[in-house]
Amino acid sequence: MEEAKQPRFKLNKLKLSPYIFILPFFLLFGVFMLYPIIYSLVLSFNSWTAGEMTFVGLDNYKQLFTDSLFWKSLKNTGIYLIIQVPFMLLLSTVVAVIINSNKVKFNYLFRVAFFLPALIDLVTYSIVFSLLFNESNGLINHLLGFIGIDAIPWKTDGFWAKIMIISVITWRWMGYNCVIILSGLQNISEDIYESADLDGAGIVKKFFHITLPMLKPILLFCMILSTIGTLQLFAEPLILTGGGPSNETTSVMLYLYEKAFGSFNFGLASAGAYIVTTIIAVISFLQIKFTGGGEI
């Protein structure tokens, strides 16, 4: 009887062992992700004062929707999204096509060079560009002076401040998306292009009728990632302009940061975070819906 029970014990031990191996992940996920998500949701319906929470219902959400600065920050973020993301993806696609060409020598060096900006710390590169775009002594205005263009008020004019931030973000993430798109280009069969050559198709026609349609899933992936990243924009407006002038460059995440750590209104900031999360989910769903899920 004892010998018959021993295999059953071993069998139960084997069934339990996979769960033991994945247990650390679920513990870390629960402590560092699930708990903060739930706690911030609870906090969004409360007022946090002197370490104590007081239930206020939907007051935090009502306060946000009636705050003109919140809507302005959403508008600024929307401008970054509408202008920067399509321009960056178009530029990334064109550069990826050029690098993927057999006519370009040492293209592996270009891949590394374009990807390097994505490895630089956000704060570090933002500080460097803040110096480059300095209105008085910056290199950008200095170079513009050589070709007869007056100094541009990069940080004191709302329009040019937005252009500066869009340029900086594009510089950092263009190469990152370029490498992803390049991996998609390398999966397109050369036979398709050879058939198009036999039919007399030119470079432009092949780009719009073969390359772009075949890259549809990759471009959708990059578009969703870029949308999420842009809606979470924080370091660049904080360091480059501080949200100025007159909150013209304040992003929604910078607004929430100032509410949380400036006025210590953590309930309001948590409510805003869930509004932004909902916006991200809706935009991502619409992108997938209107592109057919990236199907070719």
Percent of the chain with pLDDT over 70: 93
pLDDT tens by residue, 116-143: 888 888 888 899 999 999 888 889 999 9
CATH of the domain at 181: 1.10.3720.10
* Residue 53 bridge partners (DSSP): 48
* Helix (H), strand (E) at residue 245: none
User: To which residue do tokens 């069934």 refer?
Assistant: 15
Asked if residue 8 and residue 131 are part of one domain, the reply reads no
Are both 87 and 30 inside the same structural domain?
no
Asked if residue 208 belongs to a domain, the reply is: yes
Q: Is residue 263 domain-shared with residue 161, that is, in the same domain?
A: yes
Burial label for 219, CB within 10 Å (0-12, 13-18, 19+), is buried
Whether 140 and 149 have beta carbons less than 8 Å apart is answered as no
Same domain for 67 and 26: no
In a domain, 211, yes or no: yes
Please report the beta strands in the chain, taking only residues with DSSP state E, as ranges in sequence order.
46-49, 52-55
Mean pLDDT of 76-105: 88
**Do 134 and 189 share a domain, yes or no?**
yes
- Number of structural domains the chain divides into: 2
Q: DSSP letter string over 114-180?
A: HHGGGGS-HHHHHHHHHHHT-TTT-HHHHHHHHTTPPPP-TTTSHHHHHHHHHHHHHHHHHHHHHHH
Structure confidence at residue 149 as a pLDDT band (50, 70, 90) = confident
DSSP annotation of 294 reads G
Per-residue pLDDT tens for 28-39?
A: 999 988 998 999
Quote the pLDDT of residue 27. 92
29 and 134 share one domain: no
Q: Which two tokens stand for residue 295?
A: 């199907």
User: In whole angstroms, what is the distance from residue 189 CA to residue 209 CA?
Assistant: 14
260 and 170 inside one domain: yes
pLDDT in the model for residue 66: 93
pLDDT tens digits, one per residue of 225-257: 999 999 999 999 999 998 888 899 999 999 999
Query: What was the pLDDT predicted at 13?
Result: 56
Shared domain for 27 and 70, answered yes or no, is no
Cβ neighbours for 176, distance < 8 A, ≥ 6 positions apart: 115, 117, 118
Residues 89 and 231 in one domain: yes
Contact 69, 247 (CB under 8 A): yes
Residue range of the domain that includes 35:
2-43
Whole-prediction pTM:
0.85
Residues 130, 270: one domain?
yes
Average pLDDT, the chain: 86
What does the block give as tokens for 126?
A: 């933002």
Would 49 be classed as within a structural domain? no
Residues 31, 168, single domain; the answer is no
Quick check: is 53 in a domain? no
Query: Does residue 233 contact residue 162 with C-beta atoms inside 8 Å?
Result: no
Residue 39, burial from CB neighbour count under 10 angstroms (0-12, 13-18, 19+): exposed
What does each C-alpha distance from 45 to 61, 89, 253 come to in angstroms?
Answer: 8, 38, 19
